Amino acid sequence: MKTILAALILCLLALSPAHAGQKGIGQPCNSDNSTVDFDTLAQCNGSTLIKAPLMLGAVANPPYASTACDAAKAGMLQYTGGVVQYCNGSAWSTMGSSSGTGGQSMVSGWPDVIVCTDSSNNKEVLYANGMPYNSHYIYRLIANTVGDIKIIFNSDGTYYSNSGADTYDCVTSSMSISTLVANGRAFNFVNGGANGAAAMADGTAGAPGLYFSANTNTGLYRPTTDTLAIATGGTERLRVTATGSVGIGTTTPELNLHVKGIGVRLENSGSTQKWELGYHGTNDFTIFDASTNVSRLFVQATSGNVGIGTTAPNALLNVGVNGAASRQLSLGSWGDLGAGSSGSALFGGNVYYSGGG
């Protein structure tokens, strides 16, 4: 019994505020009468347990509130005005509050992402995407296959409505942005540094990694390594490969520019003139005057015959049409038509001569 009593007395002495200069919890301190004040490092077997200052309570003037945070103060905490702050080695940052998140957000006053829990207890991350849109602020599930899942907030941060998120606790509890922030469920992206780099999901043609809030199947995505693609309406329209080849209407461009489709139109912005390069029929090529709906040059795929003014050339070069009274072929200012010394000129009809000399 005497041994137990002696041990209890020794413990009480060890816990006494006056013992070995230690300060007691709940006892006033000499510096500011706060209930807990660690002026020096608390040590246990040479290891640091608590690094000053740790100020808990409504501190009117935190010890480092007006002093720049530096590497020597890294890890220090202070609590004031409903906000817990920590020194990150260069500045005081907010750990949690009822009005905002730490760091810089993409849209001032609004977190970049919020986290909700669905009915299966899965954590769902929704990104700021529509800030604002029709006077409301929208957070969307970035990648989904079940439609456009979003939660909409009023301009004051209160819950407004949702689409496809009925089972999310953010919706069932009508959580406001301030509630999400206070509960540690709202976050900001880390700044991209001097280069301003940003990353996004690869995405697909139907759900691009970068899309528009009102048009989720239109945007940019990465179909494969070192390749960029543009999709509209859920379908890929343009692709740039790793070698720099551009494909329009094809996913495998073979040259610097590869267009797969009916043709290309060139239009003069100052007039109604329109020219088209493309297919005629199945495989034939034509330069087409779309203003008058006339083919000006025609190349027959099977024979290689070229027609100017006709789409049915019967020779390697067929100029004009039969029966026309006007001149179909004129060579030089004198209107000469000649043939090589070993060649010949063949006329299927009459030859008319006009002029003298």
Residue 107 lies in a domain: no
Residue 3 lies in a domain: no
Residue-wise pLDDT tens digits, 226-265: 999 999 999 999 999 999 999 999 999 999 999 988 888 8
The pLDDT assigned to 198 comes to 65
Are residues 117 and 181 both part of a single domain?
yes
Residue-wise pLDDT tens digits, 122-154: 889 999 987 888 899 999 987 656 678 999 999
The pLDDT assigned to 313 comes to 85
Are residues 239 and 268 both part of a single domain?
no
Are residues 229 and 250 both part of a single domain?
yes
Name the band, by pLDDT with cuts 50, 70 and 90, for residue 87.
confident
Name the band, by pLDDT with cuts 50, 70 and 90, for residue 96.
very low
CA-CA distance, 79 to 76, in Å (whole number)?
A: 11
CA-CA distance, 260 to 238, in Å (whole number)?
A: 11
Host domain of residue 275: 264-319
Are residues 248 and 278 both part of a single domain?
no
Residue 220 lies in a domain: yes
CA-CA distance, 259 to 238, in Å (whole number)?
A: 9
Name the band, by pLDDT with cuts 50, 70 and 90, for residue 219.
very high
Residue-wise pLDDT tens digits, 258-306: 998 888 888 888 778 888 888 887 788 898 888 888 888 999 998 999 9
Are residues 253 and 301 both part of a single domain?
no
Q: What is the mean pLDDT of residues 43-63?
A: 47
Are residues 295 and 241 both part of a single domain?
no
Residue-wise pLDDT tens digits, 337-357: 555 455 566 666 777 666 655
Are residues 214 and 276 both part of a single domain?
no
Residue-wise pLDDT tens digits, 4-50: 444 444 444 444 444 444 444 444 444 444 444 444 444 444 444 44
The pLDDT assigned to 279 comes to 81
The pLDDT assigned to 113 comes to 92
Are residues 255 and 279 both part of a single domain?
no
Residue 139 lies in a domain: yes
Are residues 268 and 281 both part of a single domain?
yes
56 versus 118: the higher-pLDDT residue is 118
Residue 158 lies in a domain: yes
205 versus 89: the higher-pLDDT residue is 205
If one counts the domains in the chain, the total is: 4
The pLDDT assigned to 347 comes to 67
The pLDDT assigned to 346 comes to 66
Candidates 34, 41, 31; CA nearest to 55 is 34
Average pLDDT, the chain: 74
Residue 159 lies in a domain: yes
Are residues 138 and 173 both part of a single domain?
yes
Residue 341 lies in a domain: no
Residue-wise pLDDT tens digits, 164-201: 999 999 999 999 998 998 888 888 876 655 555 666 77
Residue 280 lies in a domain: yes
Are residues 228 and 294 both part of a single domain?
no
115 versus 53: the higher-pLDDT residue is 115
Are residues 272 and 242 both part of a single domain?
no
